[in-house]
Amino acid sequence: MSCGAHRATVPGGARLFHRIFTRLGIQARPPRFEVEWYPYANLVHTIRLREDTAFVRISDVLRHSPQSVLEASAALLLARLYRRRAPRYLAERYREFVQHSATRRHIARMRRARGRRVTCGPRDLAHPLEPLFVRLNREYFSGRLRRPHLGWSVHPWRRQLGIFDAGVDQIVLNCWLDRDGVPECAVAYVLYHEMLHVKHPVRRARCGLQAHSVEFRREEKRFAEYEKARRILERLA
């Protein structure tokens, strides 16, 4: 089924955006709003202004959310478009909704259903990941950590060495590491770090979502060549 089959106008969406436009005190002529649900694979919303019409796509994750959450998403989109600051109470309301465990479970289901794994290039040239995962699993997790999909990025990344995407159950490492000039202990450390994300999922904390808990950091330092690997990666950066 095509994505277009899931798209639908947001009931009362245009009126809602006009109301928030006025509430933000934007000194401009309000555009005509066309607001639709869109089947993104994540909690994504977009707004594009073309002449006198603003085309808005709201993730259908919000389809059954409270009205205040829709108002908050409208405020954040309009604030970004017109370079305004969204009211703090609306920004906090949206943040609370996003961080709620039920919302995160819903997003994870959407990611599994709609998300696509990173297409991996023909790698494993210098550092095959599967045997490395098996060894790390045996040494640090008693062989009990489930194995997600493993792969290398198609193109080198500028800022990330690796990532675990829980939505599509995939660990991807920066293909820049898959070369003879990079010691295996450095690659093993990056893979071990992402394996810890499999064991320690992102969770709520006072300051928001927490990816690196105290337990995570404690286990990370159990890596046998922790300091050496970090020095190597800093030198290679």
Q: Which CATH class is domain 129-236?
A: alpha beta
Is 0.85 surpassed by the pTM of this model? no
Look at 40 and 27; give whichever has higher pLDDT. Answer: 27
**Cα 47 from Cα 42, distance rounded (Å):** 16
The answer to whether residue 120 scores a pLDDT higher than 90 is no
Instruction: Sort strands 170-173 and 149-152 into parallel, antiparallel or unpaired.
Output: parallel
**Cα 177 from Cα 165, distance rounded (Å):** 19
Model confidence at 62, pLDDT cuts 50, 70, 90, reads very high
Model confidence at 109, pLDDT cuts 50, 70, 90, reads confident
Q: How far apart are the first and last CA of the chain?
A: 44
Mean pLDDT of 99-103: 85
What pLDDT, on the 0 to 100 scale, is given for residue 22? 94
What pLDDT, on the 0 to 100 scale, is given for residue 7? 67
Model confidence at 39, pLDDT cuts 50, 70, 90, reads confident
Q: Is 105 exposed, middle or buried (0-12, 13-18, 19+ CB in 10 A)?
A: exposed
Tokens of 172: 């991807």
Distances (CA, A) of 235 to 222, 228, 231: 22, 11, 6
Contact 133, 191 (CB under 8 A): yes
Hey, which of 83-92, 116-125, 220-229 has the most confident mean pLDDT?
220-229
The answer to whether residue 14 scores a pLDDT higher than 90 is yes
| Nearby residues of 191 by Cβ (< 8 Å), 6 or more positions away | 129, 132, 133, 136, 162, 171, 173
Model confidence at 106, pLDDT cuts 50, 70, 90, reads confident
The domain locations on the chain are 3-114, 129-236
CATH topology of domain 3-114: Zincin-like (3.30.2010)
What pLDDT, on the 0 to 100 scale, is given for residue 100? 86
Look at 118 and 133; give whichever has higher pLDDT. Answer: 133
**Cα 17 from Cα 116, distance rounded (Å):** 31
What pLDDT, on the 0 to 100 scale, is given for residue 166? 78
What pLDDT, on the 0 to 100 scale, is given for residue 44? 85
Share of the chain above pLDDT 70, in %: 88
Contact 17, 92 (CB under 8 A): no
What pLDDT, on the 0 to 100 scale, is given for residue 115? 59
Instruction: Sort strands 53-59 and 32-38 into parallel, antiparallel or unpaired.
Output: parallel
Mean pLDDT computed over every residue of the chain: 87
Share of the chain above pLDDT 90, in %: 62
Same fold, 3-114 and 129-236: yes
